Amino acid sequence: MSFEKVVFVAADGSEAEKALQELTERYGQNIPENADVIVALGGDGFILEALHDYMDLRVPIFGMHRGTIGFLMNHYSANALTERLNKAKEVTLHPLRMIAETANGESREALAINEVAMLRETRQAAKLRIHVDGRERLPELICDGALISTPAGSSAYNLSVHGPVLPLGANVLALTPISAFRPRRWRGAILPHTARVTFEVKEPDKRPVSAVADREEVRQVTNITVSEDRNMAITLLFDPEHNLDERILAEQFQP
């Protein structure tokens, strides 16, 4: 694929804004609707924002690190950008679709590229009942919360709560508890990517829970269903020497 029409977007911050100016002066600027590729300048948080903002355009996104955390980013250089884009390797991701029902009867949907997390809202621990594909698998999990992670997001929040790092292309999802109190020794599960997981909030009035799909939060939920949306495809571009598969594998050997 030839990447001739490039759109540059940047996070707030001096480094990202300086890079935006440098790149647009050298390569010009287009509008997203006509773009062959979007180049995102910032950190991991910003590229996730860009992926959500431009998801419907189905345009590949190439991130360059001009922010804080750069796990999903390529190194920054203003030189030979067209050549880099044409040599880049594609990674296709499928987001999670969350359907959350609230205490007032409202139903909300959101997509998550990294994870969907259920989190307690007060000092009271959450109580969750978990079903997988319609079958009850855990009648009661007393915890601070729980999350379902994609392989691309498994090295983020999921890893910080001791969940497994998942290789890309493994076609699995990670279901990980957050500070589980009972059952104390339950460490979570690895599920097929086709799984449909439902969380039922027990005692929602006494123990309110919020559901967070990447950047969208729904408070006082009573029932949350999460499944992979195979109809949505997101394409990330990586320099061959900085491919995401290698980064995810290397993350498992970090001290």
Catalytically active residues, by annotation: 44
Cis amide bond preceding 204, omega within 30: no
Nearest to 86 by CA among 182, 193, 1: 1
Using alpha carbons only, how large is the chain's radius of gyration in Å? Answer: 19
8 Å CB contact between 67 and 44: yes
Tokens of 161: 């709560």
- Number of Cβ atoms within 10 Å of the Cβ of 127: 20
Q: Compute the Cα dihedral for 246, 111, 198, 118 and give only its sign.
A: positive
Name the CA dihedral angle for 125, 123, 213, 129, rounded to a multiple of 10 degrees: 20
- Residue 151 CA to residue 199 CA, distance in Å, equals 20
How is residue 114 written in tokens? 């990294």
Least Cα distance to 168 among 189, 149, 150, 194 occurs for: 150
